[in-house]
């Protein structure tokens, strides 16, 4: 059996270990074998390492956002070819799909083909953020993305993005704007520019007392909103109060990137909780819907990225290269030292 290098975790809260004995996966008919070149780091990595949640097998190989080059394709692949560059967010917690190893498997329907417009480094800032925001706003709240290169009809309605400065939140701002909505984003005052660059028309301070935040939402929107996406996972109470007390629209939607906490949401509000972790999980009945939606979104967003309608995030490339740099990068993320999206080069092509 061919083996390869990468990072494994022996069990929940066990350290990351660089090893050279990971079995090298073999392509199924609709899969590509991809060489990991750059990985983007997300909060899900330390979460999985500490808790073991979402991990299907130990020793585990983890990782979520990646860009790389196709080495082989399965017999029924229609979209991907050997030598092409690809990127995206993998189904997390399944060893053979995980990018913290030399090569991993990519289902072609869930994988973005890299065009001319984005570079390989920035491409690995796209997957988890755009898919989480897309599930929330398109599957969860019915937004319609215009065809690439065309403009959506401008709506006299706001979409509120809690955490518009984060990775998920920046894509939510971009998608809502692309769909013709005015965007109000919450963020720290120091990150106002980030949310505005992503498409927010206005912002408010996410650390202000809740009554102050509600007052600003009312003053800025005049109640002309019915959709809130909490990409920060910190703003359930604020979001529900805003929809109940301020929104003047008849249809009210609340989406959250938090799919783990208990939430008490009144029946008058439609709730959607993003479960990107179900992508590719044959063992879960809800997985098919998430997986089908992701395939649809990859098609929609591939065109938008190439047309310039959606942009990758600003990022910081870690100095050096290799698996130990990934481990250092995750430690920095956990220590709150990552100001921008962290990208690590893991191998030469």
Nearer to ligand NAP, 181 or 229 (CB): 229
User: Cα–Cα distance between 324 and 90 in angstroms, integer?
Assistant: 21
Residue 80 Cβ vs ligand NAP, minimum distance, rounded to whole Å: 24
Residue 35 or residue 273: which is nearer to ligand NAP going by CB? 273
Look-up of token digits 């309605």: 157
Cα three-residue angle 300-306-308, rounded to 5 degrees: 100
The helix or strand, by DSSP H or E, that contains position 218, with its residue range, turns out to be helix 210-221
Let me know: does 161 contact 173? Beta carbons within 8 Å.
yes
Cβ of residue 233: shortest distance to ligand NAP, in angstroms?
A: 4
- Cβ closer to ligand NAP: 43 or 146? 43
Q: Which is nearer to ligand NAP, 44 or 327 (by Cβ)?
A: 44
| Cβ closest to ligand NAP, residue 72 vs residue 121 | 121
- The binding site for ligand NAP (CB under 6 A) comprises 42-44, 128, 132, 163, 165-169, 187-188, 191, 206, 231-235, 257, 259, 274-277
Q: Residue 318 Cβ, how far from ligand NAP at the closest point, in Å?
A: 16
Please name the residue that has the structure tokens 């690995």: 124
| C-alpha–C-alpha distance, residues 124 and 89, integer Å | 8
Residue whose beta carbon is closest to ligand NAP = 166
Of 85 and 171, the one with the shorter C-beta distance to ligand NAP is: 171
Of 34 and 294, nearer to ligand NAP (C-beta) is: 294
Integer Cα distance of 336 and 126 in angstroms: 21
Q: How far is the CB of 230 from ligand NAP (least distance, A)?
A: 9
Minimum CB–partner distance for residue 236 and ligand NAP (Å): 11
Comparing CB distances to ligand NAP, the nearer of 72 and 258 is 258
Handedness of CA 239, 243, 249, 255 (dihedral sign): positive
Q: Answer for the pair 300, 145: CB distance below 8 angstroms, yes or no.
A: yes
Distance of closest approach, residue 219 Cβ to ligand NAP, in angstroms? 19
Nearest to 39 by CA among 168, 167, 127: 127
303-320 burial, b if ≥16 CB within 10 A, otherwise e? bbbbeebbbbbebebbee
Distances (CA, A) of 296 to 83, 112, 129, 252, 315: 24, 11, 16, 25, 26
Nearest approach, Cβ of residue 277 and ligand NAP (Å): 5
Q: Which is nearer to ligand NAP, 103 or 141 (CB)?
A: 141
Shortest distance in whole angstroms from residue 42 CB to ligand NAP: 5
- The two counts, helices (H) then strands (E), for the chain are 9, 15
Please state the closest distance from residue 272 (CB atom) to ligand NAP, in A: 11
For residue 231, give the 3-state DSSP assignment: coil
Contact by Cβ (8 Å): 154, 180: yes
Please, what's the b/e burial string for 171-199 (b: 16 or more CB within 10 A of its CB; e: otherwise)?
bbbbbbbbbbbbbbbbbeeebbebbbebb
């Amino acid at each position: 059996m061919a083996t390869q290098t990468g990072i494994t975790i022996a069990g929940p809260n066990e350290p990351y270990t660089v090893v050279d004995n990971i079995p090298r996966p073999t392509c199924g008919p609709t899969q590509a074998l991809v060489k990991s070149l750059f990985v983007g780091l997300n909060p899900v990595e330390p979460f999985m390492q500490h808790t073991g949640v979402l991990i299907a097998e130990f020793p585990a190989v983890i990782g979520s956002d990646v860009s790389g080059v196709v080495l082989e394709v399965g017999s029924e692949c229609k979209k991907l070819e050997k030598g092409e560059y690809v990127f995206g967010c993998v189904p997390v917690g399944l060893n053979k799909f995980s990018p913290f190893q030399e090569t991993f498997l990519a289902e072609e329907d869930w994988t973005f083909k890299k065009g001319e417009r984005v570079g390989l480094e920035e491409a690995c800032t796209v997957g988890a953020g755009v898919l989480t925001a897309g599930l929330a706003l398109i599957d969860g709240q019915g937004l319609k993305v215009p065809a690439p290169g065309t403009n959506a009809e401008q709506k006299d309605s706001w979409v509120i993005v809690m955490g518009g400065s984060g990775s998920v939140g920046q894509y939510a701002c971009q998608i809502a704007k692309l769909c013709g909505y005015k965007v109000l984003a919450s963020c720290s005052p120091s990150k106002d520019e980030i949310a505005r660059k992503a498409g927010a028309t206005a912002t408010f301070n996410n650390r202000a007392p809740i009554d102050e935040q509600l007052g600003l939402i009312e003053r800025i929107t005049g109640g002309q909103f019915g959709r809130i996406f909490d990409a920060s996972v910190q703003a359930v109470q604020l979001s529900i109060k805003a929809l109940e007390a301020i929104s003047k629209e008849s249809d009210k939607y609340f989406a959250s990137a938090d799919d783990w906490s208990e939430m008490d949401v009144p029946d008058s509000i439609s709730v959607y909780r993003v479960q990107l972790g179900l992508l590719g999980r044959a063992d879960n009945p809800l997985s098919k819907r998430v997986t089908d939606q992701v395939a649809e979104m990859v098609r929609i967003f591939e065109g938008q990225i190439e047309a310039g309608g959606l942009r990758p995030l600003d990022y910081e490339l870690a100095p050096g290269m290799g698996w130990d740099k990934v481990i250092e990068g995750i430690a920095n993320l956990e220590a709150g030292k990552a100001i921008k999206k962290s990208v690590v080069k893991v191998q030469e092509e």
